[in-house]
């Protein structure tokens, strides 16, 4: 068991270093289509509105038991970060790199269960696994965890889906495994259900969109 744990940890370290090592290179070598998005910061928009507390997904609760440090909220950190050109480039690069490097696979195929939130250490995962890796990489690059919110939505097909929201001075931006562009939350076409809270008690908040899906099992 200990050897398996160490192997998983080593895989995670290698994955993290590989992606972080590629991010700075990506900002100068990404395709012309992506360079267009880097040319200017997004127009400032209104942030998403909180509508009370919400129950976290069971898969998130289980994830936090396995990785408690990933779920701690430091109330001394800012809940909104300034969107500088450097941060914007980092968000676009991390989103694109992780989307390219991880092979889509449902939790049923991957783990034999309907919904499991985990790091894609073996190179495979579904929607929330992509976002958890992006969240970890951005935290390691200096983005406050408190400004990054794992978020549950209903997608264009009416299915449960997980994205990662970064709360900035130009509005709330969405990192998503379904698309490489980083978009303001209101331009995704999704119905926003709930997300991590920004207080120390680890409660989630409702975004008032609809009833929460039972699982976020999108590839």
- 213: three-class secondary structure by DSSP: coil
- Supply the pLDDT for residue 2: 39
Residue with tokens 């430091």: 74
pLDDT tens for 11-21 read 554 555 455 55
Q: How many CB atoms within 10 Å of residue 34? A: 17
- Angstrom distance (rounded) from CA 92 to CA 34: 8
Instruction: Specify burial of residue 88 (Cβ count, 10 A radius: 0-12, 13-18, 19+).
Output: buried
Q: How far is CA 68 from CA 61, 63, 202, in A?
A: 10, 8, 11
- Supply the pLDDT for residue 73: 86
Q: What is the architecture, at CATH level 2, of domain 2-206?
A: Roll (3.10)
Mean pLDDT of 76-94: 95
Choice between 204 and 216, residue whose per-residue pLDDT is larger: 204
> For the sheet containing 179-184, what is the strand order?
53-54, 204-206, 191-196, 148-154, 160-168, 171-176, 179-184
Mean pLDDT of 179-202: 92
Mean pLDDT of 45-52: 93
Residue-range domain boundaries for the chain:
2-206
**pLDDT bracket for residue 202 (50, 70, 90):** confident
- Supply the pLDDT for residue 129: 98
**pLDDT bracket for residue 203 (50, 70, 90):** confident
pLDDT above 70: residue 86? yes
């Amino acid at each position: 068991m200990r050897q398996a744990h160490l192997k998983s940890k080593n895989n995670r370290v290698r994955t993290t270093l590989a992606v972080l090592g590629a991010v700075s290179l990506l900002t100068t070598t990404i395709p012309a289509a992506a360079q267009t998005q880097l040319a200017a910061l997004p127009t400032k928009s209104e942030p998403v509105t909180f509508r009370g507390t919400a129950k976290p997904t069971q898969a998130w609760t289980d994830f936090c038991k396995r990785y408690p440090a990933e779920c701690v909220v430091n109330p001394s950190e800012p809940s909104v970060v300034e969107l500088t050109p450097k941060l914007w480039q980092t968000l676009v690069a991390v989103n694109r790199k992780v989307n390219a490097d991880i092979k889509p696979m449902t939790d049923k195929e991957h783990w034999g269960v309907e919904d499991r939130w985990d790091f894609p250490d073996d190179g495979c995962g579904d929607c929330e696994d992509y976002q958890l890796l992006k969240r970890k990489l951005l935290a390691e690059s200096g983005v406050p965890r408190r400004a990054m919110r794992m978020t549950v939505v209903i997608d264009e097909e009416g299915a449960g889906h997980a994205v990662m929201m970064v709360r900035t001075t130009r509005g709330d931006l969405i990192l998503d495994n379904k698309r490489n562009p980083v978009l303001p939350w209101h331009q995704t076409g999704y119905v926003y259900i709930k997300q991590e809270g920004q207080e120390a008690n680890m409660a989630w908040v409702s975004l008032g969109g609809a009833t929460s899906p039972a699982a976020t099992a999108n590839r």
